[in-house]
Structure 1
Amino acid sequence: MGFFAGCLILYVLGGPRVMGGEIPVWQAVLPVLVLCAATAFRSVLPLAAVLVGTVTVSLEAAASGGLGPVLIYTDLLYAAALYGAPWLCRALQFGTVAATMAATVVFLFIGDRSEGVTTGLIVALLLISPVWTGVLIRNHKEQADAERQRAAQINRLAELDRKTVLQTERTRMARELHDLVANHLSAIAIHSSAVLSLQEAHGGRKDRGGGADEEDPVLRALAVIRENSVQGLAEMRRMVVLLRSDRAVDDDWDRPQLNALGALVEQARPAAAAAELTLHTEFPESFPEVSSVIEVTAYRIVQEALTNCLKHAAAGRVRIRCETGAEQLTISVESPLARPDVPARQRRPGDPATAGAGAGLAGMSERATLVGGVFDAGPDRSAPGRWRVRAVLPLGQNS
């Protein structure tokens, strides 16, 4: 429509001088309509559009030689060089140069030299200029596309290298866990089971009345050791399988849940009683539905905090609280501070479990930070002589 309107303006302003002499209106408008129709398909059918334009301009030039159709034809040449097939682009380059040279030679022979040179320059401007402009833009687009493809290929190769390195490291970690930690857990489970089986084979430990002492603290401790070692071994095996696979953690993974916090505390009560610790819990009647990542984080923080209490806290009361709000989950574990002058439990000198490397606190802090939470641990300012571990975890969609 723009080309058609422009040609009408040229016809109105220039009249016969612009549109090719004294010709009927339909003869001036018809080529313009055909060329405008071809322009509508210049990007999807460049070959057909340029052929229609060439035939139309040739006939119109033989009849009247108006300027309007030639201007539209230059756009068809540009579009054919830009959107056409590579062979069409090359053909237009050679064809326009050949047509320009032929027109220049013809006008040099039929007219004077200055007229031939001027005509050749005009033909070159109308034919060669739009084609080579389209070629330059086409080359720039092809180069940009090639650079984008090269960048995408480099990114794919980098991602493959990253996955290969990650899988190699995961395989190495799985091998170390299986060969070192899992073997030790297996040994603990086997030996504790053997002691319990041996005790049962001898009728159990006799009390003063001659009966089996079912409340023997040694047997209870062995049972707890066996239960924890078997559970830890099962989790270790699942972790080894996960590390050796190339998938992420999915819903099939047996994740700890908030509802299992009560069972976790009950499991720690025998060891706490042996350490003269009393465990008190303050949990809500029901936990809200939260993401699995938050559940795992909360469970592991409570688990590690209880382990630290069993290793380091002095005799006394341990309070485990869990409060749920609209947007956050607050976990706190409060315990007595360990007094170096009065050891809470007998420990062997140099025992690595009692020395503590700070990895537990660092791990809890990392878990809370990864889900966008806040973690702090240290002496409780509101209760002197107490140690508090506190974590605030978000419950929103961004956690």
Structure 2
Amino acid sequence: MHEQVEGGFGAWYRRHRWWADPLGMALLSVVMAWFGFRGIWGPFSILQEPVSPWWSLALALPACALALVKRRLPVTVLVLVTLLFVVDLVTVGGIGTLVVLLDVLWTASFLAGPQGRRVLLIVLGLSTVVLFLAAWLFTDVSLAVAFLIGVQFGAIFGTDYWWAVAVSQAHELAELHRQRAEAAAAVAERDRAEAVQRERETMARELHDVVAGHVMAMAIRAEAALSTAPDRTADREALQAVRDAGLDAHGALRSMISVLRRGDGTLAPTPRWADLGAIVQEAERGGLVVRLVVDDVDDLGAAREQAVIRIVREALNNCVRHASGADVEVGIRGSSAEVRVEVRSRGGVASRAAVHGDEGWGLQMLRERVGALGGVFAAGPVAGGWSVHARIPREVTA
């Protein structure tokens, strides 16, 4: 309850301090006059006779009124209040204008920029020197007393200035840290979004490259068996191929689910050269006639080797779907600078089991994969068939 009361008063004060502070200083000036404070700057007074302390309000109250707009016009208010203080210094000698001057000096120093603060510091230094000289040359005090007066004024106004600058710099530092924290949070959020997008793209590639291929193989083998006359041996071979493709798809799905649930394992076995023969055999079981030519492609590196195998697999899967029974030539040739992959089909007919809606996804993924390796990918119709062609530069070794 006590904390709530303090919080409520503090919030109220922060909202209304623009008039609460001047009002408080005005009340302080009245109290000081009532107690009879006057002539505290006696050596500087030009009056022949002491005057009533209530005359100090003639200068203090206008200074308090000017303090109402100190945040909107800090420099103007500082100059005007300084003039009122100087008049008070050489006449009544009250304390009200000094309090207001310290307040508006603090505000001006707090709101000023680096250049403005340097100007204020110079002005404060010069004012202290002028006050010392005035006390020494134009009053009857000794040099030591004049020096003490200068030191006192310099200490009072210098401390006020230092305090305002320290608070302002602390606010600036806090704002800088806030901006850096917001920037770091924005970068972290962007990195998180990019990581999620990369994971989605990885899952999409794996689903297309592995699961979708196996499922389509199942549909094509089943459709091929249904489109011919019943034959026990051929039908059992088709069923076995469907079963094998189903088990492969099931295994790939289980590994992907394991990654999604627990974050462990790998999405799918990484394709290697050893898988190339099985990929060709699977295409031949799907009704293609495949001729494979591999020449001088040693030491490609894992990423380029995987890209080559995936290009061959996707191209052959497309032939099974869209050119069943086609003659397909697969060429993988390398040189000292690059490896070239070409899959070209002739003839064939589209399978009725081929689905529509994902046309171009596999080719687009291959284009992105090859582009990431600095290569060039192209696919399109040629005379009598279709061609997929890729050129991948070899990995540069130090």
TM-score (ref. length: structure 1)? 0.47
